[in-house]
Chain A
Amino acid sequence: MSSLELTFITIVSMSAPLIFAVIGETITERVGIVNLSLEGTLLITALASFAVTIWTDSLYLGIISAGLIGGLIAFLIVLINFRFYINQIAVGFIFTIFLWKLSSYLGGDFVRIPGPYLDEISVPILKEIPFLGPVFFDNNILVLSSIILIPLSWFFLFRTKFGVNLRAVGENPSAADARGLDVMKYRFIYSFVGGVLIGIGGATFSLEVKYGWSEGHTLNYGWIALAIVIFGGWNPVRGSVGVYGFGILQVLSLKLQSLTIGFSQILPLIPFPLMILTLVLIQSANKNEGRWFPKPIRLLILGNQPQSLGITYKKDS
């Protein structure tokens, strides 16, 4: 195995949690809900999956419980927003702090326990492909699922009836309602689905990337995921490109660490100025002033925020 192959294997497997989180949040935001609790959800689900795995000795139960917890948190955020009209941002923000700190309280007993990890599985024929085979198809089940999830979620969102309806609810809930779609049902279901994916992202972190648990185990990954969702223009494929780009930077920083001290500390911050830049570009490209962008670049950066994102839905009557 060449060292380049090894490097890419590292990048792909390190990026798996972020892929889950970014796609989960993308689906959630596409239906019009902001799940701002990502930072907290990732932490608590990373802990939960690890703890359940240790208790039950079953990795799969660990993953499932993390997914369920992630979904439940998302469901609660929508419920509190829908039932009491408390701003989604406020609820998500409070949940972030609560879950983050709860994870470090509950996680106290699990610090530095050697963790279980997933066995490698490989896809028979595909793994024979030179370079791509070992990088993408000779890995554990979570990494493999994260790779499959990218085209799958894209296909779901943009090429199936359900995806079109889901996005319709996020774009214009009253029009969606007039066409017979149950807006709240859609929001509850797909926020839950998005939450499950985010939860699996948390599980991937503690079962695959950084085995075990330590306080602030997934620190800042939630915020990074939120930034990459925007960078990706609410598109799973573009978001995943962002995740892998970030992964490359991370690996680079590990290699360069000996050369430039502190680069590794500044590196995790790179997605944020990029996020702001993306937002600026998106807004400019949407406006007239963006016309000076060459057309291919315009198409590339055009990304429409779901029109009803974060807005509490009230049916009139």
Chain B
Amino acid sequence: MYKSLLQNFITTILAVFSVSLVLFILQVSPLEIYNNLFDGSFGNLDKISRTLLIATVMALAGFALIITFSAGLWNIGIEGQMLFGAIGATFIARTILGELFFAPVIIIIFGGIFGSLLGLLSAFLKIRFNVHEIFGGLGINFVASGLIVYLVIGPWKREGIASTGGTDLFPAASWINGFGESNFPVYPIVIAIFIFLLLFTLLSRTSLGLRLIATGANTDAADKFKIDAGKFIIYAFIFAGAIGGIAGSIQASSIHHKLVPGIAGGYGFLGILIALIAGRNLFTVVIISLVFASIMVGGVQLQLRLGLDSSFPYIIESVFVMAWLIIKASKVDAKLLRFIIKKEGNFE
């Protein structure tokens, strides 16, 4: 435990070093960047609230991907599942249900249902027609985003104006608000914690979760254990789609308060990066989501103070993930750890 923590710490330092090197090559000062990122994301309560909200959405996307990664699947369709969740949320907000005082609950549930339907489509294409989930998911993402454009300029357009700027705002009852007067995203955080606990239980305590992992670990062996791989692939996609859909509905009803094209904000794709690092570890997802969210939110400050492009957060994040994977694969961190432990041993 202590050893693997230390090893991950070494990996993190090396990866941050790689990021700094790239920043240096791009002729910006890494220190100034990190400083501004921290200040921009944790500088005051408002910034912290924003960071936490984004982190929640990212963590949900990461959780969704952990489920599918566990089952050995590349759920590139996560973006589309989030988009569909947002569509589900908007659908409810536009009906009479959206006026009810518990509208946000219905919105979240419908977001989950819509997302899981899209997950199911990926699973269906994979199992029935052997369409790889990467290409199926990629296609579905674009179809989903096309559907949103269609809805926004078609049936759900604003009174009189058809623009891609989005639908009308949700009725106030359908908003997921912050805590009291602040923006502190207490409800999204509660949802994320609930899903965290649910997944933690699922993966570590239930037979269903263990079989899901077994399916991903070795399909041939799963057959000998009488585990029907197809069934668990479907489960994985339904779970992942539902969690992605919930993330999308939070985007719609807590951040934008309406449906806009590209509402997933690329967080689904960032979720893939997060899951690449986290493997099957839910805690790591939470930590990396926090870090990535602070980079995203702090990135706004980079734009304002340093005049840097809004693309900077993504550059930092992608370099970090690539570096992390290469360091792990080349076992540089393990070698360094052994070296350090040996050194310590000599001192004692």
Contact = CB atoms under 8 A, between A and B. Distances in A.
Interface of A: 80, 84-86, 89-91, 93-95, 97-98, 100-102, 104-105, 108, 220, 223, 226-227, 230, 261-262, 265-266, 269, 272-273, 275-276, 279-280, 283-284
A68 to B, nearest CB: 18
Nearest to B322: A94
Nearest to A226: B138
Interface string B23-60: 00010000000000000000000000000000000000
Given A95-B318, A226-B135, A276-B125, 20 more contacts: A84-B326, A86-B326, A91-B322, A93-B272, A97-B314, A97-B317, A97-B318, A100-B314, A101-B314, A101-B315, A104-B311, A105-B26, A105-B311, A227-B135, A265-B149, A265-B164, A272-B138, A279-B129, A279-B135, A279-B136
Interface string B130-156: 111011101111110110011001100
Contacts of B129: 279-280, 283-284
Nearest to A104: B311
B207 interface: no
Interface string B105-143: 000000000000000000001000111101110111111
B138 A262 contact: no
A73 to B, nearest CB: 13
A153 B162 CA distance: 45
Nearest to A99: B318
- Which applies to chain A's interface (DSSP): helix, strand, loop or mixed? helix
Contact of A108 (B130, B145, B309): B309
A214 B308 CA distance: 16
A269 B272 contact: no
25 contacts: A86-B326, A94-B321, A94-B322, A94-B325, A98-B322, A105-B312, A223-B142, A226-B135, A227-B135, A262-B149, A262-B153, A262-B154, A262-B162, A262-B164, A265-B149, A265-B153, A265-B164, A272-B140, A273-B143, A275-B138, A275-B139, A276-B140, A279-B135, A280-B131, A283-B129
B150 A279 contact: no
B130 A283 contact: yes
Contacts of B142: 220, 223, 269, 272
A275 to B, nearest CB: 5
A240 to B, nearest CB: 20
B319 interface: yes
Nearest to B153: A262
A86 to B, nearest CB: 5
Nearest to A277: B139
A273 B139 contact: yes
B334 to A, nearest CB: 14
Interface residues of B, number: 46
Nearest to A103: B311
B273 interface: yes
- Which applies to chain B's interface (DSSP): helix, strand, loop or mixed? helix
A102 B310 CA distance: 10
B127 to A, nearest CB: 11
B270 to A, nearest CB: 8
Interface string B290-328: 000000000000000000111110110111011001100
A97 B162 CA distance: 31
Contacts of B139: 227, 272-273, 275-276
A266 B309 contact: no
Contacts of B272: 93
A97 B269 contact: yes
A97 B320 CA distance: 12
B195 interface: no
B329 interface: yes
Interface in B244-292: 261, 269, 272-273, 276
Contacts of A283: 129-131
Nearest to B149: A265
A276 B135 contact: yes
B66 to A, nearest CB: 15
B4 interface: no
Contacts of B346: none
B131 A279 contact: yes
B318 A276 contact: no
Contacts of A90: 276, 325
B266 to A, nearest CB: 8
Nearest to B319: A98
B187 interface: no
Given A280-B125, A284-B129, A98 B136 contact: no
A272 B143 contact: yes
A269 B309 contact: no
Given A86-B325, A86-B326, A105-B26, A276 B315 contact: no
Contacts of A266: 146, 149-150
A86 B323 CA distance: 12
Given A227-B139, A276-B136, A279-B136, A269 B146 contact: yes
B95 interface: no
Nearest to B261: A265
Nearest to A267: B146
A261 B317 CA distance: 37
A85 B131 contact: no
A261 to B, nearest CB: 6
Nearest to A97: B318
A97 B325 CA distance: 15
